[in-house]
Amino acid sequence: MFSSRLSARALRARAYATASAQPPLRGLNAVAREKAEQLSKDWKGTSASGENTSNFIGGEFVQSKATQWIDVVDPSTQTLLTRVPETSSTEFEQAVDAASEAFKTWSKTTALTRQRFILEFQRLIRENADALAASIVLEQGKTLPDAHGDILRGLQVVEHAASAPSLLLGEKIEVSKDMDTEVRKLPLGVTSAIAPFNFPAMIPLWSIPMATVTGNTLILKPSERDPGAAMIIAELCQRAGLPPGVINVVHGTVPTVNAICDHPAIRAISFVGGDRAGRHIYERGTKHGKRVQSNMGAKNHAILMPDANKNLALNSIVGAAFGAAGQRCMAISVAVLVGEAQAWLPDLVKLAENLKVSGGFEKDADLGPVISPAAKRRILGLIGSAEQEGGKIHLDGRHVKVVGYEHGNFVGPTIIEADTSMKCYDEEIFGPVLIVLKADTLDEGIEIINQNRYGNGTAIFTQSGATARKFERDVNVGQIGINVPIPVPLPMFSWSGNKASALGDLGFYGKSAIEFYTQKKTTTSLWKAEDALTSRASVNMPTHH
């Protein structure tokens, strides 16, 4: 799907997009500057003061010899934070070689040994959560509390991985007299994870523990837009005692992604991101015989019934629609107001317009900027398309002004009354924009959801158990919330988005992740008890009775 010509275009576009970046540190306020300087001082592989981000290969932070570099800027101010390499083909091969060599020994360690690494890893994440959060705020633009939430949801998977001795239990039964059949779960080999910009800590913290605790090695490619958290996490793995080569971090765009898809030593790929990249990675990876899990786009609907707890429902919708500036794959991006609940639209608008848009370190900020000027332009274009197609903009965030952050990629909360024929409904906006649809009945609302191509998540707000039961039974979406706006399951369960939101049949954590990162080996063995006393041979056909 992608060609070398496209790769060159992508790199040129990134260079152009960051050509107006402000010099390191100068555009940051006192709080952000202090955080940036501390990060640059304390961590080996990343920088927030203009120095280069390293590769992490074979347990060492290695300066890249790349010829192409990508600027990482603070989306609140356009201040240059670091430069990320387009990891060279030679460096990528070194990462794969390191992972392959480490697998020879790491795969033979016991589940208890790997569990001890996980326990130490989770302790270090907790101790260094402030540094991780600061990196996320600077590079991604989240508010500080939301950045901590990013880390916490990843940490929950790390903690669940500590139950590996139970999760990796095999099966064994005596199938005939003195004959046993045993099934064991064994590691695949070298695996890879390709992480998105919107959860720079959480997604690496999904893949690293599940890949390593099952005995695999991992090559991680963080987003080229905000790699800092992944580099800190790599260093925490090192401090926790993970042997060299078990985790490797490479960087880049299309060329690096294609190298991951094509390399014969890589057995599995975990991806979270957009539709185009997700389909490409799934098709190219599976073509080369790899196991691939790909979580892609979403258009998550929430139905508000007239009998719902109004205060809970409206506050939940506003938080789920506009938190993280709408840049969550499980954000509520469509509210379906059923019957008399349609009269709640003015109250919904009032709640949303009271949200404060500002820099992520500001104490009273509710949402920060979107990731890039290009993302902002796309969001503004989709809002404009609604206006052109006859939609009604009840709250318009296109012209929001943020004092002290005049160069930031800010879009204010926006609420659009639309219909399902409009572009703003059909496309994933991935910004602080809530589409409002109206339905006369619950059945009509369910039909709207089922007709949508995406199936990541959905929610209903109601005080009727019967209504909730009908919704749960009839709606065709993988993850359902009942009076819960963002129904992301905890890690003892499995991620279960469906339809066009996912490719591959195994989820990112829980039991599904154990299946994804392991292969089964079945052994049938015969040890006759009487052979301890006699060695008489039998020439009869074995019948296994």
- The band of 542, judged by pLDDT with boundaries at 50, 70 and 90, is confident
- Measured between alpha carbons, how far is 212 from 219 in angstroms, rounded to an integer? 11
Confidence of residue 22 (pLDDT cuts 50, 70, 90): confident
Query: Residue 536: what pLDDT?
Result: 67
Place of tokens 């046993």: 180
The HSE-up count of residue 474 (CA atoms within 13 Å, CB side) is 16
Lowest mean pLDDT among 13-17, 34-38, 81-85: 13-17
C-alpha span between 52 and 54 (Å, rounded): 6
Confidence category of residue 13, pLDDT binned at 50, 70, 90: very low
Mention every residue, 6+ apart, whose C-beta is less than 8 A from residue 356. Answer: 362, 364, 365, 366, 367
Helix (H/G/I), strand (E/B), else coil: 74: coil
Identify the residue whose tokens are 């430069």.
83
Which distant-in-sequence residues (6+ apart) come within 8 Å of 537 by Cβ?
A: none
Are 435 and 335 in contact, with CB atoms under 8 Å apart?
A: yes
- Alpha carbon distance 45, 232 (integer Å): 7
Question: Quick one: pLDDT at residue 9?
Answer: 39
CA distance 545 to 542: 8
* Phi, psi for residue 279 in degrees, rounded to 5: -65, -40
Tokens of 185: 């779960």
Output 542 or 148, whichever has higher pLDDT.
148
**Dist CA 366 CA 353 (whole Å):** 11
Q: What is the pTM of this model?
A: 0.93
**Residue 179 has what pLDDT?**
97
- What distance in Å separates the CA atoms of residue 354 and residue 202, rounded to the nearest whole number? 29
The residue-averaged pLDDT of 461-468 equals 98
Coil, strand or helix at 167: helix
Q: How far apart are CA 374 and CA 371, in angstroms?
A: 8
Q: What is the pLDDT of residues 203-214, one digit of tens each?
A: 999 999 999 999
Residues 230/242, Cβ–Cβ less than 8 Å: no
The predicted pLDDT at position 539 comes to: 82
- In this prediction, residue 4 carries a pLDDT of 34
Residues 39-76 pLDDT 10s: 999 999 999 999 999 999 999 999 999 999 999 999 99
Q: What angle do CA 316, 278, 320 make, to 5 degrees?
A: 5
Alpha carbons 430 and 57: distance in angstroms, whole number: 33
Could you give phi then psi for residue 61, rounded to 5 degrees? -85, 115
Residue 533 has pLDDT above 90, yes or no: no
Our CA dihedral for 392, 395, 399, 400, rounded to 10 degrees, sits at -170
- Give the pLDDT confidence of 377-409 residue by residue, as tens digits: 999 999 999 999 999 999 999 999 999 999 999
Q: What is the pLDDT of residue 544?
A: 63
pLDDT digits (tens, 9 = 90+) for 420-455: 999 999 999 999 999 999 999 999 999 999 999 999
Q: Answer yes or no: is pLDDT of 187 > 60.
A: yes
d(CA 108, CA 120): 20
**What per-residue confidence (pLDDT) applies to 540?**
80
pLDDT of residue 17: 43
The pLDDT tens digits of the residues spanning 491-512 come to 999 999 999 999 999 999 999 9
Q: Parallel, antiparallel, or unpaired: how do β-strands 498-499 and 454-455 relate? A: antiparallel
pLDDT exceeds 90 at position 8: no
First-to-final CA distance of the chain:
54
pLDDT for res 531: 81
- Structure tokens given for 42: 């304390």
Q: What is the DSSP letter of 265?
A: T
Buried b (16+ CB within 10 A) or exposed e, 41-63: eebebbbbbbeebbbbbbbebbe
Q: Mind listing the pLDDT tens digit for each residue in 101-114?
A: 999 999 999 999 99
Annotation says 329 is catalytic: yes
Inter-residue contact 201 to 233 (CB < 8 Å) = yes
- pLDDT for residue 19 is more than 60: no
CB 82 within 8 A of CB 50: yes
Q: Which of 102, 92, 287 is nearest to 190 (CA)?
A: 102
Complete DSSP assignment for 96-160? HHHHHHHHHHHTTS-HHHHHHHHHHHHHHHHHTHHHHHHHHHHHH---HHHHHHHHHHHHHHHHH
* Residue 64 contacts residue 52 (beta carbons within 8 Å): yes
Angstrom CA distances, 419 to 353, 388, 435, stand at 22, 13, 9
Query: Is 7 a residue whose pLDDT tops 70?
Result: no
User: Which of the residue ranges 96-105, 210-219, 304-313, 528-537 would you say has the lowest mean pLDDT?
Assistant: 528-537
- Portion of the chain with pLDDT greater than 90, in percent: 93
How would residue 3 be classed by pLDDT, with cut points 50, 70 and 90? very low
- pLDDT at position 545, please? 55
Tokens of 77: 């101010």
Q: Is the pLDDT of residue 5 over 70?
A: no
Dist CA 61 CA 390 (whole Å): 54
> Does the pLDDT value for residue 2 go beyond 50?
no
- Cα 350 from Cα 247, distance rounded (Å): 48
Question: pLDDT per residue over 285-328, tens digit each?
Answer: 999 999 999 999 999 999 999 999 999 999 999 999 999 999 99
Catalytic residue among 237, 261, 329, 424: 329
DSSP letter at 9 equals H
